Amino acid sequence: MKSDTKSLLDKLNLAPLNSGVCTGPDGWLPGSAEPIISANPATGEAIAAVSPATPAQTDQVVQAAQAAFHTWRQMPAPRRGLVVRDLGNALRELAEPLGELVTLEMGKIRAEGIGEVQEMIDICDFATGLSRQLYGLTMPSERPGHRMVEQWHPLGPIGVITAFNFPVAVWSWNAAIAAVCGDTVIWKPSELTPLTAVAVQHIANRVMADYGLTGIFNLAVGDGSVGRALAEDARLPLISFTGSVRTGRLVGETVARRLGRTILELGGNNAIIVAADANLELATRAILFGAVGTAGQRCTSTRRLIVHQDVADHLADRLVNAYRQVPIGDPLAEGTLMGPLVTVQAVVAMQRALAQAVAEGGEVLTGGRPRPDLGPHFVEPAIVRMPAQTPIVREETFAPILYLLSYADFDDAVRLHNGVPQGLSSAIFTDSLQTAEAFLSVAGSDCGIANVNIGTSGAEIGGAFGGEKTTGGGREAGSDSWKAYMRRQTNTINWGSDLPLAQGITFGRRDEGGWHGTSG
């Protein structure tokens, strides 16, 4: 282990061998399964070994979360908010080393790693305020002497299954909101990024200990069998899953069979439309970050570029020039803009997609080559000009490939834009108010996120995050996403002395002779 890596792990209180199963302070369970090796994708260096959960330990974690829920839900929501506030403050204190660990284990550049931790801090701040705003409605009753209100109650222990590309932020979107709602949380992280999850659990443990709590934030590292166990467990009323469409379908079907709830975030095939009147300088910068940031491994990465034919050649030249200047290399090094793909398999998948694109009539304008001189996980970001939206363009390849298509009129652009199975994020660049509003209208973008003059990536936590079609459904983070983590209850209170029925029904009358039917 390099000395700088050891120093980083020491700052986060991480030993070389870590348990990946925890139910709170002093709740680390000794690992008995084959350890998962956490590796640095930029170098191939083993960082640490993390012991995954056995089936018995997974059940133990669920039991702990279920037991903690019965007391946690009784704590007033503003007090639960204080716990989440302190979690955010603890993350602030360790933002730099935790962000660098994200970079070390996942491969995104340092600025993005620290930015991901900032997202965690931001959602904790948001959730702290939310803890005093879990509002229900008051509704007029049609019956005299009655009033109607709705209130929201905690749902229960929930399972959160996250992907490698945002190894900590997505957990926080769910965990911070769920916690202030009164739920407890069981986290099953990606097998590719277990160490960042262990680090966050250590931080959460210290906060729980300060309040004498346990079982609020829980961890169960493991392979698909752990995720499957959570999805099948009727004690967990909600499963939030981020990952592939294929696995998401299995999770959705499994949870639906037991009539549970799901939040599914299953990726996107995100497009930017560039109109003839667009600010091309602005568009170029947004496209570059959207397509190249995180090495194309964001679910919101820009994968398709739909450009008006009058400016397509000019924008292509701009982008080719920008792509050839992207510094690729060590994601911890200052000045690097693109790090490695997470696995060798991802490199192979990218090469396969590029070959298929060429076979379908595409022309590689720049990039796409592996960079073995930098390491087995490095590639050049690619731009491919396509004659049409062919089958490979309609697929999501989790790599830095940008397909460039051209269009003649706006309706054609929208048809291309919406003509894919996915529906997560979208954007348009235009200086026309009319065109922008048409893109945002009911006949425009069919995605859960639609932007004007900004790219597809970099969503703020204040808005609800999620998509449509095979992206899955459900929302995380801001707006009223909190409602997914609670159960709604409608209450009717009779404060009068009569018992009128709704819809004007008269069921009967009672006198000394007993009950008599009536009409009217």
Tokens of 289: 């970050």
The question of whether 437 is a catalytic residue gets the answer no
Q: Report helix, strand and coil shares of the chain as percent, to nearest 5.
A: 40, 20, 40
Contact 129, 482 (CB under 8 A): no
CB-CB contact of 315 with 324 (8 Å): no
**Pick the catalytic residue: 105, 112, 116, 265?**
265
Active site residue 265: yes
How far apart, in whole angstroms, are the C-alpha atoms of residue 144 and residue 439?
47
Q: Which residue has the tokens 């009164």?
A: 182
Of 22, 181, 299, 447, the active-site residue reads 299
- Tokens 């697929």 found at: 395
CB atoms within 10 A of CB 125: 17
- DSSP string covering 141-163, please? -SSTTEEEEEEEEE---EEEE--
Tokens encoding 92: 């602030």
**Is 442:436 a contact under the CB 8 Å cutoff?**
no
Q: Are 342 and 332 in contact (CB under 8 A)?
A: no
**In angstroms, how far is the first alpha carbon of the chain from the final one?**
84
d(C-alpha 286, C-alpha 428), whole Å: 11
Say how many C-beta atoms besides its own lie within 10 A of residue 25's C-beta. Answer: 19
Residues designated as active site: 265, 299
